[in-house]
Amino acid sequence: MIIESIELQNYRNIEKLKLPLGEKNNILYGDNAQGKTNLLEAIFFGSTGKSFRFCKDKELIHFGAEEAHLKMILKKKGISHRIDIHLKKNKSKGVAIDGFPVKKSSELFGLGNIIIFSPEDLSLIKNGPKERRRFIDLELCQLDKIYLYHLSMYNKVLQQRNKLLKELYFRPKLEETLFAWDEELVKHGKMVISLRRDFVENLRKKVENIHGEISGKREELLLSYEENVSEENFSLQLEKNREAEKKQQTTLSGPHRDDLSFQINGQDIRHFGSQGQQRTAALSLKLAEIDLVRERIQDNPILLLDDVFSELDQKRQNFLLEQLGNLQSLITCTGLEELVKHRFPIDHVFYVENGQVQCQ
C-alpha cells in the first residue's frame, strides 16, 4: 500500500501543490512552521476524513480562501484509487472515492491504513486516558468497519443520553425515557468493549516483546486494557449510578471512560515512570501498531513520522529506523544530518518553505 501522489489547493498554508511520492522513504525537511506537518496532515485527512490535530474542517482552508481541494491517489494491492475531498467554509465537506460521491467521510476508513507518529505520541503514556482511547479508536476504525459502526452509534447515543440527563433537572418526567437510551448504550457499548479487548490483547505481546528489545531486556512492560465496565455488568452499573448521574448530569459508566495500563516491574508508569520509561513504552506501542496492522491487512501500512527524531536519543532512533522495512514512509525533519548519519535509504527529498515544496 502506497500513496502515489497528492494534490492540494488552498490547504492550510499550501496554496497549490502536486507531489508524486516514492514507494519507500520520502523526506520533507525545512524550518519549523513552513508546512511540513500540514502535508502529513493532508495525507492523514485524505485517508480518514479527520485531522490528527483536533481541528475543525474549516480551519484547514487557507486563510482568505473560501474552499480547499485535496486529491490523492492511493495504490492498494496493485489497484489505484482516487480520493477527492472538497472543503467549503460554510458547508459540509464533499468526499468522492474513484469518482463516486460518498455520503459519509467515515467510508474512507479502511481504504488506506495510515499510522501517524509525532512528538505528541511520545507523551501518550503520561497524558490523560482520552489520548489513549483515541489511539485505540483511530487504529480500530481503520481496521474494522464493525467497530467503526458501533463506536459511532455509541457516541451518538451517549451524546443524547447526556443531553437528557441535563434536561431532567427541568423536566423530571422525562426520566421514564432514559431506559430506552440505556438499552442502546449498552448494546453498542458491549461491542466496543469486546473489540477493544481483543485489539489490546493482540497488541500486548507485540508491545512487550518490542519494549524488551529496546530496553535490552532490563525491564518488562505489561500492557493491559482497563475497562471502565464489563459487558456483563454494564446495565447494572447504569442503574446503580442513576441518582449520581442525575446530579452530575453526565453518564458515569461506559467505554468512554476506558484506559490502557502500562506497568514496569509492578509500577504504573503513567504516574510514576520516568520520562525515559514513558517514551520507550510509547515508541514500543507505535511500533507494535505497525506490526499488528501489517499482520491484519496482509499489507504494509503507510507511516507518517512528524519530527520524532529530534525527540529520540540515538539508540531509539536506530531502533525505529530498523523497523521501517518495506513500508512507505513520509518523514519530516528540520535537517538531513540525522538521517544521513544513519545511512538511511532515501527515495525522495523535498525541501519545504512557506508552503512551497521543492524536490531535490
Residue positions forming the annotated binding site: 30-37
Phi-psi group of 285: left, alpha or beta (phi > 0 → left; psi -120 to 50 → alpha; rest → beta): alpha
Q: b/e map of 293-304 (b: 16 or more CB within 10 Å)?
A: bbebbeebbbbb
Whether the CB-CB separation of 159 and 249 falls below 8 Å is answered with no
> CB-side exposure of 207: number of CA atoms within 13 Å?
25
Whether the CB-CB separation of 43 and 50 falls below 8 Å is answered with no
**Pairing state of beta strands 259-264 and 221-226?**
antiparallel
Q: What are phi and psi of 21, to 5 degrees?
A: -120, 150
Annotated binding site for ATP: 30-37
C-alpha cell at position 66 = 473560501
**Pairing state of beta strands 114-117 and 302-306?**
parallel
Whether the CB-CB separation of 303 and 328 falls below 8 Å is answered with yes
What residue has cell string 490547504? 11
